[in-house]
Structure 1
Amino acid sequence: MNQNYIIPNEWSIVEEGFDTTKVKSSESLFSIGNGAMGQRANFEEDYSGDTFQGSYIAGVYYPDKTRVGWWKNGYPEYFAKVLNAPNWIGIHITINGETLDLATCKKVTNFRRELNMKEGWLARSFQATLPTGMEVKVNTKRFLSLELEEVGAIEYTVTPVNEYATIEFSPYLDVAIINEDSNWDDKFWEIVSTSFDEKQAFIHTHTLKTEFHVCTFMESKVFIDSQKVYQVPVKKISNSKIAFTYKVEVAPTEKATLHKFAGYTADRNYRKEELVIAAQKTLEKAVNMGFNDLLELQKQAWLKIWNMADIIIEGDVKAQQGIRFNIFQLNQTYLGTDPQLNIGPKGFTGEKYGGSTYWDTEAYCIPFYMATKDQQVARNLLEYRYHHLDKAIENAEKLGFKNGAALYPMVTMNGEECHNEWEITFEEIHRNGAISFAIYNYYRYTGDYSYIPEKGLEVLIGIARFWQQRVNFSTAKNKYVILGVTGPNEYENNVNNNWYTNYIAKWCIEYALESIEKVKTEYASDYERIMAKTNLSEAEMLHMKDVVKNMYFPFSEKHQVYLQQDGFLDKELITVADLDVSQRPINQKWSWDRILRSPYIKQADVLQGFYFFEDHFTDEELERHFDFYEPFTVHESSLSPCVHSVQAAKLNRMEQAYTFYLRTSRLDLDDYNKEVEEGLHITSMAGTWMSIVEGFGGMRVEDNILSFEPKIPKQWQGYSFKVNFRGQILKVSVDQYDTKFELEGSKELEILVNNKTVIVSPNNLITV
């Protein structure tokens, strides 16, 4: 059974009733972020129950030494970790001398938590009976400011119900923090200095090894029924903690409120010695604005994001909540303002996958950011990889490749490979293909070719060289083969001739050669510079052409499908429908040995290839491959259901497409894979956007023209979305009868709708 406690709501994620078994799941689901930092939805007050504390700062990481019982040449020395950062949200609260802690209260009623996605804030309310019988009502609200990205703000209100109360608020900063996923229980942070005055507190820390410097800061204000209370707090300083205590006396129904402003300044933005001064200035700005004005700016900033990124679904609240949750979390994780940053698979919601960059960015996220933001955001993501090209060449050299061959890492913070599983590090080399595909996809969508001569071609050449060296010629087959790989389907390790890997390798070389010719003809000075830099020879290019011409692809004449890899038909082909439901998910129920021998697919490699290169195959071929592989796919990769949704829609299988859409959009909300407490699946959320825009909307770019084949599930009355295509914003609205197009721009836009040309002019509604 999937979890089912999140209440359907178009604009909010809502939980009602306090259940200690759901605390860690909710900490993930109600996470907040602003692109520069983020945090799990931990309680501000003490909580002695089971919890996973987590606050994270973008770009701050630690190289945790790889934990394996053996070592291989070329093996990464460390697994990078996004660091659990100093805790600034904490507020220790006592009421008549008794600590407020939901785990020890006699009774907790009217518990409600809301993540308001429209306005970008998290709220919680409850009534609690303390062990002494004292009853209080509590209301909290907090957000991470988009306007002042180093600042978070908390409003915490306690109202006594049945007697007078002495309430002590003790907001604190705590740097004695460890990572849940530390390999060796290393200490990651060290204090440089601690400082404070009458109102403000600062702890300057640095990370060991990576030497990131961070100042964690806070300032608070206290109110009784909206009237500010002026008092100098009592200060308590320990080795790792600063707490300020404010004491107020309140009568029943009077509200005691604390406003806490806190956050981080980091040396990614300031000189180390200026961190505390920068924190003082940031605090001054935030406190002068006040909680309510900062919240108003937050609402306006989110309104602007939603104005472009929102997808409206009519008649299906669960589907609407799902897509907005996905869009909201993507924007909380990455806003595209800092080209040094990228998108971690868990974002700021947990520590699994180390918060690093995977191929998910290129394969799934770039289309979302291209269409919902300015193209510069997508270009920043491409440039991120360009800046890591030297490291990619170094990574390849460690594995024995030479002459400028580039192997991009599966997992990285700074361009170095830091994944600690051999079958991923050495074998899951298909990731290289996604980097090249993203360059092609960016040009196809934006029409901006300039990136390729300026930077992209060097990346394409490095990747093509890798594939040229990674193949070997099989005399038995009289073809080039690729041995010993793991494809996107990680339930197959160390296989030969994974179809997706072979296909994308061939395509990468082809695209590099084609780009070399175009740059040579149209950008002569760039061509000369790149050829001098890369020393690419005619002999190498001739060999590349030979590889392209003679690449081997496993194929079944009987089934008329490309085989996932050599030997796939040797498996016992029992479909998922015939698998006992008690055995799911198999990655939590079966041994790895059993999984590897089974026909079950975590994520269908062949269909991933058909998704990228849809125009290389006929609809009949897609249908044949979909019907062959879908029955064996368990979708235990978060990246799987969205591709199947897009393809089911393409094949007019709307019920199937809708089911896959719900699965991808509510993967975390309904906890399909029974792991949401570890954090959310951020990068696959971009796939949810694809399943509507590319799946139901049928959006493609064909010969420089935006094309649509709109379809609609029977469960919906209508849906609409916007895309920014080459500087013009097109709104598409689909219902059960027709499709409407509206254009915000200055000139006409030619589009294709169901293969017919339609001219959309600015501010003029077109109905098809």
Structure 2
Amino acid sequence: MKNYIKADEWNIIEEGFDPHLNKVSESLFSIGNGRMGQRANFEEDYTGETLQGNYVAGVYYPDKTRVGWWKNGYPEYFAKVLNATNWIGLHIQIDGEILDLNTAEVSDFKRVLNMKEGTLSRQFIAKLNSGKIVKVEALRFCSIVDDEVAALHYRLTALNFEGQISIISFIDGDVKNQDANYDEKFWEEVAKKQEANTDYLVLRTKKTEFEVATVSQTTIFKNGSLQELKAVAKEKYLGQQASFTLSKNEVLDVYKLVANLSSQNYDKAALLRISKETILKAEEKGFEQLKQEQAVAWAKKWEEGDIVIEGDVAAQQAIRFNIFQLNQTYTGKDARLNIGPKGFTGEKYGGSTYWDTEAYCIPFYLSVAPQEVAKNLLVYRYKHLDRAIENAVKLGFNHGAALYPMVTMNGEECHNEWEITFEEIHRNGAIAFAIFNYIRYTGDERHLADYGLEVLIGIARFWKQRVNWSAERNKFVMLGVTGPNEYENNINNNWYTNKLAAWCLTYAMEAAEKVKAIAPEQYLKIVEKTNLNEFTEFRDWNSVASQMYYPFHEGENVFLQQDGYMDKEQILVKDLPADQRPLNQKWSWDRILRSCYIKQADVLQGMYFFEEEYDLETLKRNFNFYESRTVHESSLSPCVHSILAAKLNDEEKAYEFYLRTARLDLDDYNNDSEDGLHITSMAGTWMSVVEGFAGMRVRDGKLCFQPFLPKNWTGFSFTIGFRGLQLKVQINESELIIRNNSSESLELKVFEQLYTVSPGEKTIAYKGYLV
């Protein structure tokens, strides 16, 4: 675990430059706006260890997989969000000596991610090998107002010399992904042009033929005096160069406005023209207005979705960091886009869509964003239904059975590890649960008729065909699967998967009845479109759901993660030597698979989804059993444990797991933040506060709270939207205070007691209800 980020409520601060931490910092200080993103690479040259990363949403390449493609049904490629044109580049020479923090002596280094206003700033003093000393101050941002525009201001001051400065402000498309399977470059040049102080570069991806136009406008000043620029060009590279003498205490200012436009959104033939229009609009506003608009827009986001924690700066910084990164990654404006596990902060996992979105991100966006944002995440899966059916056909399923991919960019499976591609099928259940969760929260039952029921039918058909009848057990069983715990592969009867499958079958039938009641004409169209045979299919679905086998261990009185789990040697995590962890970096895969250790919540994931089905004693037994065997080497694990611990009134564990999930990246718990942040698990951090400490649920259409205050805090508050109402919830040691900022009253429950909250503020004393 690293601990070099300074505690601050609104800023992520790094003081002092440590090259060994640079890649971690590049991740932590990433910026984005939902349409594009940028790792915190330096503007000037850097020859040290770095992971260059500029990303444009939705643009990907099907990199041919290195393994498994010869197997029937196996994906032939792994889709990857591409490292795109580097737009921040500045090549600076002082009397022929390149400014490079890897070779210079660096002091007074400070990097700040201002989460309140959405900007990244950096300052340092660098002493070159020649003895010349410069001071640099830089600031940049990706606009969330004009989400195809980014801007930077770079100021250099000569501190002890007079010398010849040469600076090239460039855009460079000659880039590649560090994780390219065959060390291939994925971009081809289509067009480029230069005019005045502006560069236009259009690149096309191989195979997928996405085109991205990057346009950069540069102005350079010496002591406030505009400098003449000279165009520089080579393949996939354009720049604007200025050369002049800089004397002691004189200042060089570079302003750079950039736009990235994709053929996803514009006709290819119009890209150059529209990119020019976009950059001219940005120029009309200018750097300072763009920056001011950025601050105003972020203020609105914080007004809608901030969490305020009193008395614990580390916790406050952490939750805001998680919320900030989520808002940078996905805005919900475009239903073709989704949320990659690393967002715009790195290449790992290809930047593709996983089940993380449905299981962890949906609750966050339901509460802190307009309803359409979460709905668009569901529509994304609806639009990929035909591909999900194709994926199932490749594996031998039929009659409209749908298997959604574990990893995808366009609906087609592109994951290349067999035990996940073929076996981690629980992702289907998470997608169905997200539909249920959305409707439970919003009350938007019409979604079933418009989108949801078709998806549920395809998923139900898959589960019906995926089980088989066991004469030995006299039950339906599920063989050869991998549950959420990926430290187990090819096991039989994973409790979580079986539970989800049975639930999906039941929910699909309930959804059909609901659509039949509220939209009978639409229901008939769905029946015809899907060729649904109500009598035989519902009979079969009900048979499977009612006769599903669930592993159970009588001795421990717990749901058993899968058949044979207790055959493993049961050494608890507390008895593992510290130097053996993390297991995935210290043990062989064979050793991990033979151990009892659990990567992330598995049985407990199911109990989190369906907690109303289990009494506290059942939950407690299963929690104590499985938590003691869980190593939390998935970023998705601590949040579920935190929420369940809170439900069990185990305040100490709830807080422990909250802090772990909240500062997972800031403190680099698992020594893996250098390849990108854990964006989707950040939604779990929000859940840990709102569903954990505040105990917020939706039951029977009503908001319910069972709050407690962590002992390190003096209070906390958050804002949520619920069914058209906006509420601010404040919790202190003994009271829950709700401000209803809407014109309608709301009925809600606190520890099962019903209250009516009229417009305005209501204080509810809750301490007496605590167990």
> Normalised by the shorter chain, which TM-score bucket?
over 0.9
- Give the Cα separation in 2 of the matches to 1:736 and 1:353: 42
Deviations 1:472-523 (A, max 9, x none): 0000000000000000000000000000000000000000011112222332
Aligned to 1:122: 120
- Aligned partner (choices 171, 178, 181) of residue 180 of structure 1: 178
Q: How far did residue 97 of structure 1 move?
A: 2.5
Residues 134 and 162, structure 1, Cα contact 8 Å, conserved in 2: yes
Q: How far did residue 69 of structure 1 move?
A: 5.9
Residues 221 and 228, structure 1, Cα contact 8 Å, conserved in 2: no
- Give the Cα separation in 2 of the matches to 1:531 and 1:30: 50
Q: Is 1:74 matched up with 2:97? A: no
Aligned to 2:348: 352
Letter in 2 for 1:154: L
Aligned to 2:107: 109
Aligned to 2:207: 209
- Give the Cα separation in 1 of the matches to 2:606 and 2:330: 27
Aligned to 1:676: 673
Q: How far did residue 70 of structure 1 move?
A: 6.3
Residues 169 and 258, structure 1, Cα contact 8 Å, conserved in 2: no
- Give the Cα separation in 1 of the matches to 2:758 and 2:69: 64
Q: Is 1:577 matched up with 2:574? A: yes
Residues 248 and 256, structure 1, Cα contact 8 Å, conserved in 2: no
- Aligned partner (choices 717, 720, 723) of residue 720 of structure 2: 723
Q: Which moved more, 1:64-73 or 1:131-140?
A: 64-73
Aligned to 2:542: 545
Q: 5 Å matches for 1:26-41?
A: 26-41=25-40
Aligned to 1:607: 604
Q: How far did residue 339 of structure 1 move?
A: 1.1
- Give the Cα separation in 2 of the matches to 1:516 and 1:287: 54
Aligned to 2:311: 315
- Aligned partner (choices 449, 453, 461) of residue 453 of structure 1: 449
Letter in 2 for 1:385: R
Letter in 1 for 2:660: R
Structure 2 unaligned segments of length 5 or more: list them.
Answer: 766-771
Letter in 1 for 2:474: N
Residues 68 and 418, structure 2, Cα contact 8 Å, conserved in 1: no
Aligned to 1:638: 635
Q: How far did residue 747 of structure 1 move?
A: 0.8
- Give the Cα separation in 1 of the matches to 2:175 and 2:11: 31
Residues 194 and 231, structure 2, Cα contact 8 Å, conserved in 1: no
Residues 39 and 55, structure 1, Cα contact 8 Å, conserved in 2: yes
Aligned to 2:221: 223
- Aligned partner (choices 487, 491, 504) of residue 487 of structure 2: 491
Q: Give me the CA root mean square deviation.
A: 1.0
Deviations 1:649-673 (A, max 9, x none): 1111111110100000000111111
Q: Is 1:339 matched up with 2:335? A: yes
Q: Is 1:388 matched up with 2:387? A: no
Q: How far did residue 187 of structure 1 move?
A: 2.3
Aligned to 1:65: 64
SS at match of 2:185: coil
- Give the Cα separation in 2 of the matches to 1:680 and 1:93: 30
- Aligned partner (choices 134, 157, 170) of residue 136 of structure 1: 134
SS at match of 2:5: coil
Residues 68 and 416, structure 2, Cα contact 8 Å, conserved in 1: no
- Give the Cα separation in 2 of the matches to 1:153 and 1:678: 24
SS at match of 1:465: helix
Letter in 1 for 2:4: Y
- Aligned partner (choices 197, 200, 219) of residue 199 of structure 1: 197
Aligned to 1:507: 503
Q: How far did residue 563 of structure 1 move?
A: 0.1
Residues 336 and 380, structure 2, Cα contact 8 Å, conserved in 1: yes
The size of the alignment, in residue pairs, is 764
Q: How far did residue 230 of structure 1 move?
A: 4.2
Letter in 2 for 1:212: F
Aligned to 1:616: 613
- Give the Cα separation in 2 of the matches to 1:125 and 1:230: 23
Residues 210 and 262, structure 2, Cα contact 8 Å, conserved in 1: yes
Deviations 1:213-255 (A, max 9, x none): 1111111112234x24142x12221122112111243332222
Q: How far did residue 696 of structure 1 move?
A: 0.2
- Give the Cα separation in 2 of the matches to 1:602 and 1:740: 38
Query: Percent same amino acid at aligned positions?
Result: 59
Q: Which moved more, 1:175-184 or 1:68-77?
A: 68-77
Q: Which moved more, 1:502-511 or 1:516-525?
A: 516-525
Aligned to 2:257: 261
- Give the Cα separation in 2 of the matches to 1:398 and 1:612: 30
Q: Is 1:750 matched up with 2:756? A: no
SS at match of 2:761: coil
Deviations 1:716-765 (A, max 9, x none): 01100011000101111011131111011111111101111111111234
Letter in 1 for 2:35: A
- Give the Cα separation in 1 of the matches to 2:166 and 2:691: 54
Residues 108 and 124, structure 2, Cα contact 8 Å, conserved in 1: yes
- Give the Cα separation in 1 of the matches to 2:194 and 2:51: 29
Q: Is 1:647 matched up with 2:639? A: no
SS at match of 1:764: strand
- Give the Cα separation in 2 of the matches to 1:516 and 1:163: 77
Q: Which runs of 4+ in 1 moved over 4 A?
A: none
Q: How far did residue 331 of structure 1 move?
A: 0.4
Residues 83 and 177, structure 2, Cα contact 8 Å, conserved in 1: yes
Aligned to 1:531: 527
Letter in 2 for 1:682: I
Aligned to 1:555: 552
Q: What TM-score do you get using the length of structure 1 for normalisation?
A: 0.99
Q: How far did residue 164 of structure 1 move?
A: 2.2
Aligned to 1:270: 266
- Give the Cα separation in 2 of the matches to 1:303 and 1:166: 43
Residues 175 and 241, structure 1, Cα contact 8 Å, conserved in 2: yes
Aligned to 1:438: 434
- Give the Cα separation in 1 of the matches to 2:321 and 2:190: 39
- Give the Cα separation in 1 of the matches to 2:6 and 2:236: 39
Letter in 2 for 1:611: Y
SS at match of 2:628: helix
- Give the Cα separation in 2 of the matches to 1:16 and 1:575: 39
- Give the Cα separation in 1 of the matches to 2:439 and 2:192: 50
- Give the Cα separation in 1 of the matches to 2:184 and 2:45: 25
Aligned to 2:769: none
Letter in 2 for 1:123: S
Aligned to 1:21: 20
Q: How far did residue 185 of structure 1 move?
A: 1.6
- Give the Cα separation in 2 of the matches to 1:280 and 1:246: 23
Residues 737 and 761, structure 2, Cα contact 8 Å, conserved in 1: no
Aligned to 2:732: 735
Q: What TM-score do you get using the length of structure 2 for normalisation?
A: 0.98
- Give the Cα separation in 2 of the matches to 1:541 and 1:657: 41
SS at match of 2:182: coil
Aligned to 2:462: 466
- Give the Cα separation in 1 of the matches to 2:496 and 2:83: 36
